[in-house]
Amino acid sequence: MRLSLPHVLTDQCPTYGSALGLPSITIDGSQQATLDVRAGVDWAQLGGLSTNQVLGTFALPNTAPTYVATPSKANITINGNIQVSQPNGLVLLTNQFLPNTLTGVISAKDIDTSTSLSGVNGGDIRVDGRGDIAIANATLRSVASVFANAGNGGAISLSTSNGNISLTDSNVDSYASVYSKALVI
């Protein structure tokens, strides 16, 4: 079964909802530390792949990109570790945003959105696929751990519209902890 996702582009920040009806989120890296990895996007739904963007004081040439081969999958493979340590951060791995017809597997190793700052929350981790999600020998963690006034651990969600979710020899942790210093007299 294929589910389409709600999306709205407002102020250049896409609002993204997941396949399983989780609340929509706004992707805005200028307001929230964000790692946003997407595959299998149907660029025609966005008016084509933009190549006329200004980066600092340099402008990219206004030419269409050249693709060497036609994509055959919408896979996302993360072989290293991801860490977003700023409070309330976000890691989004998806092949559900404005999808083309390709399916794909999302696989990842360690993802950590924990913080050690007082009074703030750990970040969210969202993995949203339209194929299998495979997490192996890894830890998905969002912890608020401090000596006083801990916030909350972030939300961790794994969802797929057409596949299996496997956690092999892996841990999923979201919590807050407050450590107290021992009083020595």
Give pLDDT tens digits for 129-156: 999 999 999 999 998 887 777 788 899 9
pTM: 0.76
Beta partners for 37?
93
Dist. CA 136–CA 155, nearest whole Å: 20
Dist. CA 63–CA 177, nearest whole Å: 52
**Cβ distance 127 to 94 under 8 Å?**
yes
Phi/psi at 141 (nearest 5 deg)? -140, 135
Six token digits for residue 157: 């969600």
The H helix count followed by the E strand count for the chain is 0, 17
pLDDT tens for 84-113 read 999 999 999 999 888 888 989 999 989 999
DSSP SS3 for 46: helix
Dist. CA 44–CA 15, nearest whole Å: 18
pLDDT tens for 36-85 read 999 998 877 877 665 555 445 555 566 665 666 677 899 999 999 999 99
CA neighbor of 159 nearest in space, from 10, 16, 14: 16
